[in-house]
Chain A
Amino acid sequence: MTPFLALHAIEKRYNSHLALQLEEICFESRKIYSLVGSNGCGKSTLLQIVALLLNPTFGEMVFQGEKVVWKKKNLLRLRQDITLVHQSPYLFSRSVRHNIAYGLKMRGTNSKDQHRLIHDALEMVGLEGFGRRNARELSGGEQQRVAIARALVLRPRLLLLDEPTSNMDRASIEAFDKLLPLLVEQGMTIIQATHSPDQPERLNSTIIRMEDGRLA
């Protein structure tokens, strides 16, 4: 069976520095994967390659049975199914609603559907009624949740999360832990990088350990 996502002999170098070297790694659909490892072990680099934001120096990536060709047009098409939430997400200097609507606008969603989808996404992350608030004036945890809502509203097939709970309080983390399995039930595949020692097991996720840019 063709895996949902496969990386073959992927390497990422910055000049002479080797940031990532993976022989083979496959991901099945509708599962949660947790990348764990110390800072600088290559988790974020891997997420950025999978998000099609960073070209690998060598290697091949196959997403949903299609070999990724690193050309602008092709990447733009494939990115419609993959969304990454960065570790410290950048929120546009406008309202929460404007932030969440951005990806929908890029997909040509009409304003009526936008309104409904934004409402649902805010509800999912526990930020009902925050639509008109200035995104930059929210707390760190709230901003993180807006960034997650901004990704969820696009219903990506593959959701990538880089340290998603790093700014969240206890209650928000608990709500987030309940949300991820629901997203998987809806058909999403999730790959998250995390430093949390117990969250990967709590989520019943497949743990991928990394060390010095390699699988441990």
Chain B
Amino acid sequence: MDFIFDSLKTAFLLILSWDPEVYKTVWTSLYVSLIAIVFSTVAGVPAGMAIGLGQFPGRRAVITLLNTLMALPTVVIGLVVYGFFSRSGPMGQFGLLFTPAAMVVGQIILATPIIANYTLGALSASDSRIMPTALTLGASTSRGALLLMQEIRFGVMAAIIAGFGRIIAEVGVAMMLGGNIRGYTRTMTTAIALETSKGEFAFGLALGIFLLSVALLINMFLNFLQQR
């Protein structure tokens, strides 16, 4: 047990001494995931609303595809995007591989189906009287959809938070598309994997504490929303 306690002590010392390596890694994780979640929200929420409200052929197939995409392993996303961004790939000339931008792209692909699916779920569970009420009060279909989104706002927020929780904690995309370059694309999860394999358990533990804190904050926020 001494090993664990000593490592924990060192981990807290690293955190409290504002170790630049730790904080740079935390910052990289946060900004990559925050940029990705903004794009995923812009794509995922309207997509979920459109699928939920729309009546079009193949709707059921689209929902099945969305469910399948939710279960996509992160390494598969990493692999496919790697193929596109690698030097000989169709987008190789942009030189995006092993950059934060490539990680953002991978995380967008990971989070968008989650946000779309959760939004769709919130919409399906919403009160069926909302849209007719908006229409009879003189709203257009698009204004009615906006009102509907306001009425299910807590479900939409939960969707965004679920997406963020997924991408901040993933390893596959960050490792394959970011390359775990120190001070550039190294995230909390890739650093934990690397440092632990190098025997730097305390460093990994310090980052693990940050990752847990982020998860705790997300859950506290979700609970807060559910209580409202």
List the interface of chain A (C-beta within 8 A of B): 48, 51, 53, 72, 76, 79-80, 82-84, 86, 88-90, 92-93, 102-103, 106-107, 150-151, 154
Contact = CB atoms under 8 A, between A and B. Distances in A.
Contacts of B136: 51, 53, 79, 82-84, 151
Contacts of A102: 134, 137, 139, 147
Contacts of B143: 106
B212 interface: no
A82 B135 CA distance: 10
B6 interface: no
Across the A-B interface, give the 9 residue pairs with the lowest CB-CB distance, nearest first.
A103-B137, A90-B129, A106-B138, A84-B136, A90-B133, A106-B139, A53-B132, A103-B138, A76-B140
Given A93-B151, A103-B137, 19 more contacts: A72-B140, A72-B141, A76-B138, A79-B135, A79-B136, A79-B138, A80-B138, A82-B136, A83-B137, A89-B133, A90-B127, A90-B130, A92-B147, A92-B150, A92-B151, A103-B138, A106-B139, A106-B140, A150-B137
22 contacts: A48-B132, A53-B132, A53-B136, A72-B140, A76-B138, A79-B135, A79-B136, A80-B138, A83-B136, A84-B136, A86-B129, A86-B132, A89-B133, A90-B127, A90-B133, A92-B147, A93-B151, A102-B134, A102-B137, A102-B147, A103-B137, A154-B137
Contacts of A88: 129
Interface string B150-175: 11000000000000000000000000
A151 B133 CA distance: 10
B222 to A, nearest CB: 18
Nearest to B138: A106
B133 A86 contact: yes
Nearest to A92: B151
Contacts of A82: 136
B138 A154 contact: yes
B196 to A, nearest CB: 47
A102 B135 CA distance: 11
Q: Which of B133, B139, B141 has the most CB of A within 10 A?
A: B133
A89 B129 CA distance: 8
B227 to A, nearest CB: 14
A43 B137 CA distance: 20
Contacts of B150: 92
A89 B137 CA distance: 12
Nearest to B129: A90
A133 to B, nearest CB: 17
